[in-house]
Amino acid sequence: FVSAVKEKALGEEVMASLTPAQQVIKIVNEELIDLMGGTNSKLTYSPRGFTIYMMVGLQGTGKTTTCGKLAHYLKKNGKKPMLCACDIYRPAAIDQLEVVGKSVDTPVFTMRDSKKPEKIAKAAIKEADRLGCNVLIVDTAGRLQIDEELMQELETLKAEIKPHEILLVVDALTGQDAVNAAEG
């Protein structure tokens, strides 16, 4: 990476509108984009009108916050999202999702007494339909990939609600372990 940047910087003519420092930043930016894959993946929506996104990831990676950011993004793009609290393990997880939902003016479906995420999600689908929402974002419990019980819970939830997309949320500091988490 460094040698590619150095080679381009040494052989590059400084554009009239850029300073040499800005030119180096431009080259580094282009190389980073190239290194990271360069292509954007867009969210896809269900052709039948109602889309379900299931958010998964390890503990503490920011799934709940990402749910709010995703809801905000979807609202800006003309969608009507609803958030669904299926993290039944972490203390105050439901409260956090409610705060996040309120901050982006998005309804949040909860069933505080239920310990079955698939039951919560199925009820949320009915409520979202009743409220005229067209996207359901399901916030699941963070897990360790080695925890078979929690992994089975994800499999059950996936089979019950048939999400249009499953979005893996990973911390940027995870590095190569993100590949292991995705495979898990």
Q: How many CB atoms lie within 10 A of CB 123?
A: 15
What are residue 135's DSSP bridge partners?
51, 81
Residue type, 148: E
Statement: residue 37 has pLDDT above 80: no
- What integer pLDDT is reported at residue 103 of this predicted model? 96
Residue 45 has pLDDT above 80, yes or no: yes
User: Are the CB atoms for 18 and 26 separated by under 8 Å?
Assistant: yes
Give the residue carrying structure tokens 């940027």: 172
Tell me if 86 sits within 8 A of 171, measured CB to CB.
Answer: no
Is it the case that residue 180 has pLDDT exceeding 90?
no
Rounded to 5 degrees, what are φ and ψ at 56?
-130, 160
Name 62's Cβ contacts closer than 8 Å, sequence gap at least 6.
169, 171
- Least confident segment among 14-18, 163-167, 170-174: 14-18
What tokens appear for 73 in the block?
A: 């993004």
Q: How many residues does the structure list for the chain?
A: 184
Q: Examine the pLDDT at 76 and tell me if it is beyond 60.
A: yes
